[in-house]
Amino acid sequence: MGKEKLPKGMISIAWILVLGAILPMLDSTIINIAVNDLAKAFSTTFAVTQWVVTGYVLALGMAVPLSGWLMQKYDGKKVYMVALGLFLISSLLCGLAWDMQSLIAFRMLQGLASGIIIPALTTLVVQAAGSENLGRVMSVVGIPVVFGPIAGPVIGGFILQHLSWHWLFFVNLPIGGIALLIAQWKLPKFEAMNKSAKLDWIGILLLAMLSGMVVFGVTEIRAQNTRATGILAFGIGAISLVAYLLYASKRKDQALIPLDLFKSKNFSAAFLSLFLAGFATNGPMLLFPMFFQNVLELNVITAALWLIPQGVGMLVTRPLIGKMTDKLGARYVVLPSIAITIIGTLPFVFFDADTSQWLIWLVLFVRGIGVGGITVPVMSDSYVGLQKLQVPAASVATRIIQNVGAAFGSAILATVVSNALNVKEATVANFAGAYHAGFITSLIFMVISILPALFLTNKMSIARVEGQ
């Protein structure tokens, strides 16, 4: 006997939430394609412009615990609508930005709003669906997650080809406005789950200072005239780390990221793996559009379309990864995925203006297959062996480190490329050499990511022991 159809109201709630959340889900991939155009529009360097992406991702990561607290303390509908409203206001401000500094600041505000919207979407869907219908309702919610890497760059490329960069942000306004109106009209109230919930503001501030200062230090320390600023940023980051460790040791289980979590081998391995995954995914995703435009001399819409094979590769592996992780354990899913990602990245160290397009598409497709098998198994493995009470804190910690790793990966690779270009004449050959240096840096960190992956769960060895 087949499963009963989902109630219409439940599906309606899922689609209303997705309509509002699709904008922040697409936003980072839409902007990746625009970094080249934004650098030209504001007459600034790649190292500075990448903060439009990096600042957004960092703010998104820091907003994750804030979202959890708001959803417990207040009506979920109001939280979702206020966050969406903040996203639209920040989108308007981004479109009206008068210089690169103002754009970066407004993008961080946009990231803060996104970091509340996306976890709120999941929480509200779980509350509305209940355990019986959760799988089928989450499949609706997963649509923008699946198609974001494919659709985002194409939408961004189309806008840049036919309109000005301002419309990368203004495009959010009509869709988001409709989503707000429908949410107000059709979305039911979601009562606060714990009105006495408290937020670890000091923990958030210290982690924000730590991650923000380290990423800022990376972008500043290599240039002679900003080296002192970079060293100062690293110093502030180190002080923030020590302060957080002392603070968390006193707060114990009440800390934002409790230190007890790191007693779990699986969590520690997953934590490091998620950080390093930023170099495998976000870092190169920032470089590819630039490489296509500056080395292969493609226009922006063609450069966006050339990213589709990688998105298709990720799409192909998505249905298999969960089943394989359940059967084999995360270790023997993540290790081959890293190897495939390396195979799909290494040729870019040698690609130049004369490389055949079909070869680039094939390599990107292979790379997508590898990238698609890294994050999901690592995220699931981070909870193995934890007590039930530790799971919420682990969820916050993994989401934060995933975004910090993504920001760090983008910043490191952008800095390597930018510094390689600063000492050479802006020719196609020199552009190619600079991007090659970025891809080599990415590969080094991918190889390092093998080490923590060796400590992830191996269900095959467990099965052999149980079978003896």
Q: What is the mean pLDDT of residues 408-420?
A: 83
Specify if 196 maps to a domain: no
Q: Which pLDDT band holds residue 145 (cuts at 50, 70, 90)?
A: low
User: Same domain, yes or no, for 75 and 171?
Assistant: yes
CA torsion through residues 457, 458, 463, 466, sign: negative
Instruction: State how far the Cα of 193 lies from the Cα of 63, in Å rounded to an integer.
Output: 19
Average pLDDT over residues 429-448: 90
Which carries the bigger pLDDT value, residue 435 or residue 28? 435
- 187 DSSP 8-state letter: P
Q: Are 81 and 183 in contact (CB under 8 A)?
A: yes
Each residue's pLDDT tens digit, 87-96: 999 999 999 9
Q: Between 66 and 370, where is the model more confident?
A: 370
C-alpha dihedral sign at 148, 212, 207, 407:
positive
Per the structure, the complete domain to which residue 228 belongs is given by: 201-255
Is residue 159 located within the same domain as residue 248? no
Domain end: 210, 233, 255, which one? Answer: 255
- Same-domain status, 173 and 243: no
Assess whether 372 and 436 both reside in one domain.
yes
Question: In sequence order, which residues have a C-beta less than 8 Å from that of residue 220 and are 6 or more positions away?
Answer: 226, 227, 229, 230, 233
> Is residue 436 a part of any domain in this protein?
yes
Residues of the chain above pLDDT 90, percent: 25
Backbone angles phi, psi at 2, to 5 degrees: -70, 165
Q: What is the pLDDT of residue 146?
A: 66
For residue 198, give both structure tokens: 């408290």
Contact between 88 and 175 under an 8 Å Cβ cutoff? The reply is no
- Name the 3-class secondary structure at 329: coil
Answer for the pair 312, 372: CB distance below 8 angstroms, yes or no: no
Residues 163 and 300 in one domain: no
Residues 309 and 314: their CA atoms lie apart, in Å, by: 9
83 found inside a domain: yes
- Of 209, 231, 255, the residue at which a domain comes to its end is 255
Examine the domain organization and report whether 315 and 407 are in the same domain.
yes
Which pLDDT does position 304 carry in this prediction? 87
Query: Taking 50 as the threshold, does the pLDDT of residue 1 lie above it?
Result: no
Find the CATH number of the domain harbouring 13: 1.20.1250.20
Q: Which residue has the higher pLDDT, 208 or 105?
A: 105
CA dist list (Å): 352 to 68, 229, 349, 355, 428? 46, 35, 9, 6, 9
Cβ-based burial of 68 (10 A; exposed 0-12, middle 13-18, buried ≥19): buried
Of 174-183, 281-290, 356-365, 399-408, give the range with the top mean pLDDT.
Answer: 356-365
pLDDT in the model for residue 142: 64
Specify whether 185 is located in the same domain as 241. Answer: no
2, part of any domain: no
Q: Around Cβ 202, how many Cβ atoms within 10 Å?
A: 15
Q: Are residues 319 and 181 both part of a single domain?
A: no
What is the Cα–Cα distance from 464 to 329, expressed in whole angstroms? Answer: 13
Which residue from 411, 439, 424 is spatially nearest to 212, judged by alpha carbons?
411
Note whether 247 and 263 are same-domain residues: no
pTM confidence score: 0.81
pLDDT value of residue 465: 44
Closest CA to 30 of 162, 172, 174, 139: 172
Among the three residues 236, 255, 274, which one is the final residue of a domain in this structure?
255
DSSP letters, 206-273, are HHHHHHHHHHHHHHHHTSGGGHHHHHHHHHHHHHHHHHHHHHHHHHGGGSSS-GGGGGSHHHHHHHHH
Q: Give the residue among 174, 184, 171 at the shortest CA–CA distance from 26.
A: 171
Number of domains in the chain: 3
Indicate the average pLDDT of the chain: 83
The per-residue pLDDT for range 226-254, each reduced to its tens digit, is 778 888 988 998 999 999 999 989 988 77
| Residues whose CB is less than 8 angstroms from the CB of residue 267 and which lie 6 or more positions away in sequence, other chains included | 261, 382, 383, 385, 386, 394, 397
270 lies in the same domain as 138: no
On the question of pLDDT at 418 being above 60, the answer is yes
**Is 62 within a domain?**
yes
Average pLDDT of span 20-47: 84
In terms of domains, do 270 and 285 share one?
Answer: yes
Q: What pLDDT does residue 25 have? A: 77
pLDDT higher than 90, residue 143: no
Report how far Cα 353 is from the mean position of its chain's Cα atoms. Answer: 30
- What average pLDDT does this structure show over 291-304? 89
- 372 lies in the same domain as 388: yes
Report if residue 1 sits inside a domain: no
Q: What angle do CA 408, 410, 415 make, to 5 degrees?
A: 95
Asked if residue 3 belongs to a domain, the reply is: no
114, 24 contact by CB (below 8 A)? yes
